[in-house]
């Protein structure tokens, strides 16, 4: 990187004093407030990365654009400075600092300004509406309320008057004292006047003016009228009461009259008919009782009775008479009637009881006194007529009042309506302004959001994060192309630097890794070479062995026959000797003892010598046999062979064989066979030979140790045989506690003809054969031993049939 740096600087023409932003001005970016790297966190990062001074950090910040790990983008580098120059002048001119803080502040600020403007407008609109509402509340509404109240009062006033009158009427018509008059009807008269006063009050509240003048005038007139009605009604009531009294009095007086007159008449008629006044009287003669004076008396009494009753009934009539004209008529008749009674009274003279005169006078007074029935009734009727007049006046005033109220109400309504409309308009204006501003505010906020935050800020941040993720994912190749003069841009620059460094580092690592791998491979190669050499040696040896084997096989084959002869003849000879011995027995008595002893000695020696011949012959056979076996190629059929069973059998065989040879031999045999060992595809004869061989070796070794001169008396030969199945392999371990095998022998133990036994005890092919057999089955045969610690043979066999390594022949 350090190499490339000066290269780039030559290509570009950045002014060292200019901010790093010049090299990177993105043509698309709208906002160009510049920021220096020195203050930002990103700058510090870069510092740490490159370990350079702030100045050089700026310079290196210019790099990422140009460096790519490959050839620098020259055309781009050429174009950018040109654009940068223009932008640089602009920015320099206004000395604007480009940073995220400023950008966000500017964006929010714009939004806030819009909100403020909207609020101010709303406030203004509300003030306006409030003003109008206040106007409505303080002026129009009370005025309307007043008008409504006036209307109500006027209506009640108008209704009251006729009601008043009607009630009074009812009272008059009802002569029955038990008719109950609603008590509250007399009271409203006061309320009505109050209502009228209230109307005046309310209209003055509405202010002077034509409308209200009319209201006042009518209200006053109405009030005056009502007062008149009230007075009239009251006087009517009084008169009515008086009439009632008169009527009651008349009833009493009429009864009085009757009770006076009727007996008098009754007596008089009786007297005129019978001449008797008292019970004890003598009857008066006809001319006395029929005299004119009696007749006149009787007639006068009748007249008083009739006229008096008539007068009474006339009073009763007039009391309820509604027609003023008829009242006149009745009065006339009353006058006539009462005149009649008085005339009759005169006729009766002093025969009349005083009471009678009093009663008749009273009746007269009841009718015609100043407060008598007739004047009172007339007066009452006049009052009624007045009331009618008042009512009529009431109606007309009411009409006018209603009209005035209506006009007033209408006017007020109109004013209120106008004010309401104004307020509506203001509200609407305010509302629409608010809506517009809201729309404007929201759309500008959205614009800001989309342009600045979205495209400018978020997009770049997203790009940056994507780039980081790419880098984290391992892609260090792709250049980071995030533009901007603000913190985000700086972050991008820093990231680019980082990327380049990381790239370098990555490459270095790669190289290192390769070197290491190469080294490792070399080592492996060396080892392989070693192995190969070993194998080669082994091959050579095996070749040698093979050829040797072939040789020995040939020899063995050739020797086999002669050996057979030897063995056979030896056997025959032995048999012959036996025959001789037998013959000797038969002639034993005939033979001198010295000769017998001599014969026995000689036969004994012969026997012994033959035995030795046989023995050695057999030995030689077995060697030949062993050698042939050794050379024999792998043959025999493979069959599934139960390992554990085989072990059992051949361990026992080995043991008993040993005991057969020397019955002193004892061995503790520990068997631990796993049940899951099962069967293996193997040539049973071969495999059994292996087991037999190894176990036999163990027996022999341990027996030797036991028999050795310096052996431990407590020493007992022990054999431990285990079989396991593990990882698809059968593992058989045959361990003994014999003397062990020295290390230098361990290596050669499986070599053919290697043996530590005496020449007549083994051929040295046993283990080699075993080794080959096992290998031929695809398994392995190994031995672990330490001197003094016994030996352990480990046989592993694959459970699946495998060719395994071909047994070397």
Nearer to another protein, 70 or 177 (CB): 177
Q: E strands of 648-698, at which residues?
A: 668-673, 679-682
Find all residues with CB under 8 Å of 456, minimum gap 6, and list them. Answer: 29, 30, 31, 103, 484
Q: Which of positions 158-187 make contact with another protein (CB under 8 A)?
A: 175-176, 178
Asked if 503 and 68 touch (Cβ cutoff 8 Å), the reply is no
Q: Which of positions 94-133 make contact with another protein (CB under 8 A)?
A: none
- Binds another protein by CB under 8 A, chosen from 98, 232, 240, 250: 250
290 is a contact residue toward another protein (CB under 8 A): no
How far apart are CB 356 and another protein at their closest, in Å? 14
Of the candidates 279, 274, 310, 306, the one whose C-alpha atom is nearest the C-alpha of residue 289 is: 274
- Binds another protein by CB under 8 A, chosen from 251, 286, 442, 526: 251
Q: Interface with another protein by CB under 8 A: which range of 84-92, 246-254, 605-613, 626-634?
A: 246-254
309 is a contact residue toward another protein (CB under 8 A): yes
Annotate 488-508 with DSSP letters as a single string: HHHHHHHHHHHHHHHHHHHHH
Nearer to another protein, 190 or 273 (CB): 273
789 is a contact residue toward another protein (CB under 8 A): no
Segment holding 113, helix H or strand E:
helix 100-135
Report the interhelical angle of 487-587 vs 593-631 (nearest 10°).
150
- Binds another protein by CB under 8 A, chosen from 36, 313, 422, 657: 313
End-to-end CA distance of the chain: 67
How far apart are CB 355 and another protein at their closest, in Å? 14
Q: Interface with another protein by CB under 8 A: which range of 2-10, 261-269, 697-705, 735-743?
A: 261-269
Asked if 318 and 374 touch (Cβ cutoff 8 Å), the reply is yes
3-state secondary structure 184-197: HHCCHHHHHHHHHH
Nearer to another protein, 352 or 695 (CB): 352
How far apart are CB 265 and another protein at their closest, in Å? 7
Q: Is 474 left (phi over 0), alpha (psi -120 to 50) or beta?
A: left
The C-alpha atoms of residue 493 and residue 481 are separated, in whole angstroms, by 9
Nearer to another protein, 38 or 290 (CB): 290
Find all residues with CB under 8 Å of 639, minimum gap 6, and list them. Answer: 681, 682, 683, 684
Q: Distances from the Cα of 593 to the Cαs of 221, 588, 600, in angstroms?
A: 204, 9, 10
- Binds another protein by CB under 8 A, chosen from 96, 316, 433, 628: 316
Q: Interface with another protein by CB under 8 A: which range of 54-62, 252-260, 410-418, 481-489?
A: 252-260
- For tokens 């009757």, the residue is 258
How far apart are CB 339 and another protein at their closest, in Å? 20
Asked if 307 and 367 touch (Cβ cutoff 8 Å), the reply is no
Q: Interface with another protein by CB under 8 A: which range of 312-320, 472-480, 668-676, 753-761?
A: 312-320
Contacts of 14-21 with C-beta under 8 Å, sequence gap 24+, read 14/62, 14/81, 14/84, 15/88, 18/84, 18/88, 19/58, 19/88, 19/91, 19/485, 20/58, 20/59, 20/61, 20/62, 20/493, 21/84, 21/87, 21/88, 21/91, 21/98, 21/485, 21/489
3-state secondary structure 309-373: HHHHHHHHHHHCCCCHHHHHHHHHHHHHHHHHHHHHHHHHHHHCCHHHHHHHHHHHHHHHCCCCH
Nearer to another protein, 27 or 263 (CB): 263
Of the candidates 399, 375, 393, 352, the one whose C-alpha atom is nearest the C-alpha of residue 226 is: 393
How far apart are CB 379 and another protein at their closest, in Å? 24
Q: Interface with another protein by CB under 8 A: which range of 137-145, 220-228, 250-258, 445-453?
A: 250-258
Nearer to another protein, 266 or 512 (CB): 266
Nearer to another protein, 176 or 585 (CB): 176
How far apart are CB 242 and another protein at their closest, in Å? 19
Measured on CA atoms in the order 188, 192, 193, 195, is the torsion positive or negative? Answer: positive
Find all residues with CB under 8 Å of 51, minimum gap 6, and list them. Answer: none
Nearer to another protein, 20 or 312 (CB): 312
751 is a contact residue toward another protein (CB under 8 A): no
Q: Distances from the Cα of 601 to the Cαs of 572, 595, 606, 608, in angstroms?
A: 20, 10, 8, 10
575 CB neighbour count, 10 Å cutoff: 11
Asked if 791 and 736 touch (Cβ cutoff 8 Å), the reply is yes
- Binds another protein by CB under 8 A, chosen from 41, 116, 213, 262: 262
711 is a contact residue toward another protein (CB under 8 A): no
Contact letters for another protein, residues 265-284 (x by CB under 8 A) = xxx-xx--xx-x--x-----
- Binds another protein by CB under 8 A, chosen from 50, 254, 387, 394: 254
Q: Interface with another protein by CB under 8 A: which range of 64-72, 114-122, 311-319, 501-509?
A: 311-319
421 is a contact residue toward another protein (CB under 8 A): no
The C-alpha atoms of residue 468 and residue 349 are separated, in whole angstroms, by 153
Pairing of strands 780-785, 791-798: antiparallel
- Binds another protein by CB under 8 A, chosen from 36, 56, 155, 258: 258
| Count of residues in contact with another protein, rule CB under 8 A | 24
How far apart are CB 383 and another protein at their closest, in Å? 24
Q: Interface with another protein by CB under 8 A: which range of 32-40, 257-265, 525-533, 537-545?
A: 257-265
How far apart are CB 188 and another protein at their closest, in Å? 27
575 is a contact residue toward another protein (CB under 8 A): no
Nearer to another protein, 128 or 245 (CB): 245
The C-alpha atoms of residue 714 and residue 457 are separated, in whole angstroms, by 94
299 is a contact residue toward another protein (CB under 8 A): no
- Binds another protein by CB under 8 A, chosen from 163, 255, 431, 588: 255
How far apart are CB 142 and another protein at their closest, in Å? 45
How far apart are CB 236 and another protein at their closest, in Å? 21
How far apart are CB 334 and another protein at their closest, in Å? 15
Asked if 66 and 13 touch (Cβ cutoff 8 Å), the reply is no
Q: Interface with another protein by CB under 8 A: which range of 32-40, 114-122, 306-314, 442-450?
A: 306-314
Nearer to another protein, 265 or 692 (CB): 265
Nearer to another protein, 45 or 265 (CB): 265
- Binds another protein by CB under 8 A, chosen from 130, 209, 263, 353: 263
How far apart are CB 378 and another protein at their closest, in Å? 23
The C-alpha atoms of residue 567 and residue 644 are separated, in whole angstroms, by 37
Nearer to another protein, 84 or 261 (CB): 261
The C-alpha atoms of residue 166 and residue 409 are separated, in whole angstroms, by 31
Asked if 222 and 188 touch (Cβ cutoff 8 Å), the reply is no
How far apart are CB 259 and another protein at their closest, in Å? 6
Report the interhelical angle of 188-205 vs 210-274 (nearest 10°).
170
- Binds another protein by CB under 8 A, chosen from 259, 523, 543, 672: 259
How far apart are CB 133 and another protein at their closest, in Å? 52
Look up residue 747 and give its two tokens.
Answer: 């290596």
Nearer to another protein, 313 or 386 (CB): 313
How far apart are CB 173 and another protein at their closest, in Å? 12
SS3 158: helix
Nearer to another protein, 265 or 303 (CB): 265
Judged by the rule CB under 8 A, the positions of this chain that interact with another protein are 175-176, 178, 250-251, 254-255, 258-259, 262-263, 265-267, 269-270, 273-274, 276, 279, 309, 312-313, 316
């Amino acid at each position: 990187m350090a190499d490339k740096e000066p290269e780039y600087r030559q290509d570009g023409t950045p002014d060292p004093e200019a901010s790093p932003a010049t090299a990177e001005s993105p043509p698309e970016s709208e906002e160009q407030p510049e920021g220096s790297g020195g203050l930002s966190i990103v700058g510090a990062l870069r510092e740490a990365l490159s370990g350079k001074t702030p100045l050089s950090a700026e310079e290196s910040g210019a790099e990422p654009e140009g460096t790519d790990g490959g050839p620098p983008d020259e055309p781009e580098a050429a174009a950018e400075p040109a654009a940068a120059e223009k932008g640089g002048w602009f920015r320099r001119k206004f000395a604007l600092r480009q940073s995220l803080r400023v950008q966000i502040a500017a964006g929010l600020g714009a939004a806030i300004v819009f909100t403020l403007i909207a609020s101010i407008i709303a406030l203004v609109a509300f003030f306006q509406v409030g003003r109008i509402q206040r106007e409505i509340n303080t002026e129009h509404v009370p005025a309307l309320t007043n008008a409504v109240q006036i209307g109500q009062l006027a209506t009640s006033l108008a209704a009251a008057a006729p009601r008043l009158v009607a009630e009074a009427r009812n009272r008059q018509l009802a002569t029955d004292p038990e008719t109950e008059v609603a008590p509250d009807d007399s009271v409203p008269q006061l309320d009505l006047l109050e209502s009228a006063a209230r109307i005046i009050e309310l209209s003055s509240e509405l202010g002077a003016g034509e409308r209200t003048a009319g209201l006042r005038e009518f209200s006053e007139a109405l009030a005056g009228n009502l007062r008149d009605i009230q007075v009239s009604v009251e006087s009517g009531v009084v008169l009515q009461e008086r009439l009632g009294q008169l009527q009651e009095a008349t009833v009493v007086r009429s009864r009085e009259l009757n009770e006076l007159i009727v007996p008098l008449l009754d007596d008089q008629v009786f007297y005129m008919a019978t001449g008797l006044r008292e019970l004890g009287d003598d009857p008066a003669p006809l001319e006395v009782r029929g005299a004119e004076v009696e007749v006149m008396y009787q007639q006068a009494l009748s007249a008083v009775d009739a006229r008096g009753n008539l007068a009474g009934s006339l009073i009763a009539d007039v009391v309820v008479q509604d027609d003023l004209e008829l009242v006149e008529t009745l009065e006339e008749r009353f006058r006539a009637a009462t005149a009649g009674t008085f005339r009759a009274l005169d006729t009766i003279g002093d025969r009349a009881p005083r009471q009678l005169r009093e009663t008749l006078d009273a009746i007269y007074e009841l009718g015609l006194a100043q407060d008598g029935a007739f004047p009172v009734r007339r007066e009452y009727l006049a009052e009624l007529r007045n009331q009618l007049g008042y009512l009529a006046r009431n109606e007309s005033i009411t009409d006018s009042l209603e009209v005035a109220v209506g006009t007033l109400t209408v006017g007020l309504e109109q004013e209120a309506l106008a004010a309401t409309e104004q307020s509506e308009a203001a509200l609407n204006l305010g509302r629409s302004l608010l809506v517009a501003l809201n729309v404007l505010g929201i759309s500008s906020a959205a614009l800001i959001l989309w342009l600045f935050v979205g495209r400018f800020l978020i997009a770049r941040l997203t790009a940056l994060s994507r780039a980081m993720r790419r880098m984290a994912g391992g892609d260090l190749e792709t250049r980071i192309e995030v533009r901007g003069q603000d913190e985000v841009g700086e972050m991008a620059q820093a990231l680019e630097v980082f990327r380049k460094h990381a790239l370098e580092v990555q490459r270095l690592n790669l190289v290192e890794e390769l070197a290491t791998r190469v080294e490792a491979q070399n080592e492996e190669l060396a080892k392989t070479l070693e192995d190969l050499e070993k194998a080669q040696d082994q091959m050579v040896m095996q070749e040698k062995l093979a050829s040797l084997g072939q040789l020995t096989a040939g020899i063995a084959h050739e020797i086999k026959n002669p050996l057979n002869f030897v063995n056979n003849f030896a056997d025959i000879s032995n048999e012959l000797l036996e025959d001789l011995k037998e013959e000797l027995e038969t002639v034993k008595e005939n033979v001198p003892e010295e000769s017998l002893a001599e014969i026995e000695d000689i036969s004994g020696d012969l026997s012994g010598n033959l035995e030795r011949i046989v023995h050695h012959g057999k030995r030689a056979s077995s060697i030949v046999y062993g050698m042939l076996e050794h050379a024999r190629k792998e043959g025999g059929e493979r069959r599934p062979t139960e390992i554990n069973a085989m072990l059992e059998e051949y361990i026992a065989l080995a043991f008993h064989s040993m005991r057969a040879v020397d019955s002193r031999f004892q061995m503790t045999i520990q068997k631990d066979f796993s049940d899951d060992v099962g069967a293996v595809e193997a040539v049973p004869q071969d495999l059994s030979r292996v087991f037999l061989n190894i176990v036999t070796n163990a027996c022999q070794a341990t027996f030797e140790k036991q028999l050795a001169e310096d052996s431990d008396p407590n020493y007992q030969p022990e054999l431990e045989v285990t079989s396991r199945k593990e990882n698809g392999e059968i593992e058989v371990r045959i361990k003994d506690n014999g003397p062990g095998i020295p290390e230098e022998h361990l290596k050669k133990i499986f070599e053919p003809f290697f043996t530590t036994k005496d020449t007549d005890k083994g051929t040295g092919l046993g283990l080699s054969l075993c080794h080959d057999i096992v290998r031929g089955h695809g398994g392995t045969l190994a031995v672990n031993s330490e001197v003094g610690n016994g030996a352990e043979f480990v046989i592993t066999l694959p459970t699946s049939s495998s060719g395994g390594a071909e047994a070397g022949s």
